[in-house]
Structures are given as structure tokens and as C-alpha cells.
Amino acid sequence: MKLRVGIIGAGGIAQGRHIPAFQSLGEKAEVTAISDVNVDAAKSVAEKFHVPNYFTSYVEMWPHVDAVVICTPNKFHREITVAALDAGKHVLCEKPMAMTVEECAEMVEAEKRSGKVLSIAYHYRYMKESQAAKRIMEAGEVGNPLVVRVQALRRRKVPGWGVFTNKELQGGGSLIDYGCHLLDLTLWLLDNPIVSEVSGQTYNTVSREAEQVNQWGSFDAETFEVDDHVTAYIRLANGGTILFETSWAANIPDDAELLRISGDKGGLDVFPFAVNKAVNGMMTTTKADWILGEDDPGRPQAENFVDSCLGKAKPLVSAEEAMNTSRVIEAIYASSLMGKGIQLGNEKGVK
């Protein structure tokens, strides 16, 4: 059976990742419809990728698809996901899952009553380094994780296109757009631990300076209203801690992408991949000469979703796990706003 896939939102992520990924799956899937509120955009993308149908209303695509990929601004994730699931369609929704945890919960309930697949596009889990790190963690080489250091830092890369700096449509900036990937990956590698307390601080000072230097296009500094730099200290119920930092704009020498897990038996760096040990009178760092997997995580993400829809696999990113990532994001924002730590009390975790 070939899964018929519809794309809702014809922007950059649809064209750059999802459409090519699904079209690369051959007999497993085909992209049969595009929807966008801008009819010219829908038509243009449909013609570019040889997709037979295009619409301005996503509801019009229901007869033509078995599953949809939601690539709209964050504000519309919940609405479209619930509508698609209630219409009997499987859903792959772009990250973050939704604007609030309450919206995430509505999506999970829709998934349960529909019996269809709901997965969230946290594509960092599909990176070959991430997959290798998961194997190392499951093999027990790190032991009990104690301290995790996470950095998703860009020096001057505020997205100057789309609606990334629009708080009403996106809900936030660097944290909800970029840092969420490394945060989600961290929680997954730690086997979805119970988060007990979050203390965070958000900033948007640098991107409001009059003279802007930005590598990713231009934006209006006077109306910039989302976070461009965020820090957080996250306590886990098992005693572990996560030191987290993300930015779009910061006065640092270089971009940095770091996920470093320090455990009682060993340590692990995901980017670049390395395993750190202290045994037999030696301190060693083992680097990989070659890692199994694909360079582009978009294709394995699409394939996992299709196989899950066809009953041949389980989603690598479950809706419940993605909701837990959103719970931590929401707590970071709340902590910054209130000026104090936020007790989560999610004793049930996401398992």
C-alpha cells in the first residue's frame, strides 16, 4: 500500500525537507496534495514538485490523503492536528508540538479517540549521531547520568524570513524554534526522565539594538518581541541536572551545538560524537571513524512516520514525549516571567 501524504503549509520547511523526503520513499508514499492559505504559494509548490492537487483550505484535501504533514506557524498546530485526526488522517506535525501544554493535551486526546498516528517532527532524534548516542546510553556505557550540558547557540542568526519573530503566531523565539530540538533530544537520550523543577531566564536585548548585524536576513529590531537568548537550570527527580542554553543572537565568538552527558561510568558527547572514559589508569576519548545512518535526518523521519501509519513501526517521537518537551519549554518561559523556579510535579513522566 502506498500512503497518500498531504502537506499543509507550503513554506521553507515543506519544500526543503518534507516534500523531498516523502517523495524519496518510492513505493511507500506519494505526496498527493498541497494546502496553503496563499493560493499562489500552493499552486507554485504543487507545480514545482509535481503534486497533482493544491488547495487553500486543508479540509478540501481530506479525500485525497491518508496522512498530513503540518508545516504552519505554531499557532495553528493544535487546530489543524485535531481536525485532521478527527477526519481520520495520520499526522506528522512540525515542532514545537503546540503553543501551550494545554493545546498539546488536546492533540493527544484527539490521537487517542482517532486511533491514528500523531508524531512531532523533532528531527534531531533521527540524526545518525543521535541514534549512535542512544545505542551507547542503552548499552549502559555512561551509567547513571549526573550532569548534562546543552548548548544550541547561534551568534547572529535571527531568521529574517517567515513569521519567526512574531510572538502571536509562534509563541516564542530561540527556545521554541531552535533550543527545543536539543532539549527534546536530551530528554529522549535520558529515557524521558521526570522533571521536578525548572529555573529559566529569557533575553531579547541584543536583537533590539539599533544597528543589527545578522547572517540570516533582516528583521525589525524595534518590533522584535521574542527571546533571542535563553538559559535554564533543570532538576530531575532522579537527582540529575541539565544546564541548558540557546540563542539566535549572542555576543559569543562562534555558533555552538553541544550535548554532553556526564555519568557515573562514562561520558558522551553527541556533537561531535565521542565517548569519554576513565579506566585502567587512563583517561580516554573515543571518537567514531564512521557512524551508521543517513546524513539527512529528513528521510528517516519520513520513513518512520510512513511505516508507523502502515502499522510496521512505532513513531520515534511520540505525542506524549513531545508534550513533555513542551512542558519544560513552558516552565522556562513561566520561570523567567515570574522570576522564580517552577515546580512541575509531573510524577508520571511520559512513560
Mean pLDDT of 74-103: 98
Contacting residues for 102 by C-beta, under 8 A, at least 6 apart? none
* Average pLDDT value over all residues in the chain: 96
Has residue 249 got a pLDDT over 80?
yes
d(CA 280, CA 204): 48
Task: Please write the tens of the pLDDT for every residue from 276-301.
Answer: 999 999 999 999 999 999 999 999 99
Mean pLDDT of 113-141: 98
Q: How far is CA 340 from CA 154, 183, 238, 262, in A?
A: 26, 20, 21, 27
By percentage, how much of the chain surpasses pLDDT 70?
A: 98
Q: Residue 1's pLDDT is what?
A: 81
Q: What is the DSSP letter of 193?
A: P
Has residue 3 got a pLDDT over 90?
yes
Task: Please write the tens of the pLDDT for every residue from 33-54.
Answer: 999 999 999 999 999 999 999 9
Q: Residue 325's pLDDT is what?
A: 97
Strand-pair partners of 260: 149, 269
Has residue 349 got a pLDDT over 60?
no
Task: Please write the tens of the pLDDT for every residue from 186-208.
Answer: 999 999 999 999 999 999 999 99
Model confidence at 259, pLDDT cuts 50, 70, 90, reads very high
Has residue 350 got a pLDDT over 70?
no
Strand-pair partners of 92: 69, 119
Mean pLDDT of 82-95: 98
Mean pLDDT of 226-252: 98
Question: Which of these, 302, 322, 316, lies nearest to 5 by C-alpha position?
Answer: 302
Task: Check: pTM over 0.85? Answer yes or no.
Answer: yes
Mean pLDDT of 65-69: 98
Model confidence at 346, pLDDT cuts 50, 70, 90, reads low
Has residue 347 got a pLDDT over 50?
no
